[in-house]
Amino acid sequence: MSDPVFVIDDDEFFRQFLTSLLRRQGHEVQSYSSAREAIRALRREKAAVVISDLYMPEMDGIEVMDTLRSEFPLIPVIALSGSIDDSIEACLKLMTVMGAYAVFRKPLDETAFLAAVDTARASKSGRPARIRDATT
């Protein structure tokens, strides 16, 4: 069995939406409402891709990205955010600089998102390929 996709989002509705979307495409998915819980799970088992919301209680997406890059540098990370202010734009750009495989704004362009997940899953390095910045 292949490694699962980890979904981290404190918004239960959106987390369930992503889980369902990914499972319909044949991905095994583990979903987490807490970044700390997801990172604990990653220390016990592998993930093919991590999809993380940017704004969450306890630990935000920047902290998640920093932890993942230091402890699991080969796992591709896809960053998401539903916020529309200028600071989120800057944070999403920072996620790209920090090594996010792709970044997306909510609501998602499902086709582009699924393509990014598939490409990230096929990646061996966890580093961005020529995936467009989906925030624009």
Could you tell me the domains of the chain?
Answer: 5-122 (3.40.50.2300)
Residue 26's region, left for phi above 0, alpha for psi from -120 to 50, else beta, is left
If we measure between CA atoms, which residue out of 12, 22, 15 comes closest to residue 49? 22
**Predicted local confidence at residue 91, as pLDDT:** 66
Residues paired with residue 103 on neighbouring β-strands, in sequence order: 79
* pLDDT at site 1: 56
Segment 6-58, tens digit of pLDDT: 999 999 999 999 999 999 999 999 999 999 999 999 999 999 999 999 888 88
Amino acid code (one letter) for 63: E
CB 76 within 8 A of CB 118: no
pTM given for the model: 0.87
Band (pLDDT 50/70/90 cuts) for residue 128 is low
The whole-number average pLDDT for the span 94-110 is 85
pLDDT for 57-99, tens place per residue? Answer: 888 878 998 999 999 999 999 998 876 665 666 666 767 778 8
For residue 131, pLDDT over 60 is answered with no
- Please state, in angstroms and rounded to a whole number, the distance separating the CA atoms of residues 108 and 99: 20
Six-digit token string for 64:
């998640």
Could you report how far apart the first and last alpha carbons of the chain are, in Å? 36
Q: What is the mean pLDDT of residues 85-114?
A: 81
Neighbours of 19 (CB within 10 A): 18
Residue 96: predicted pLDDT: 74
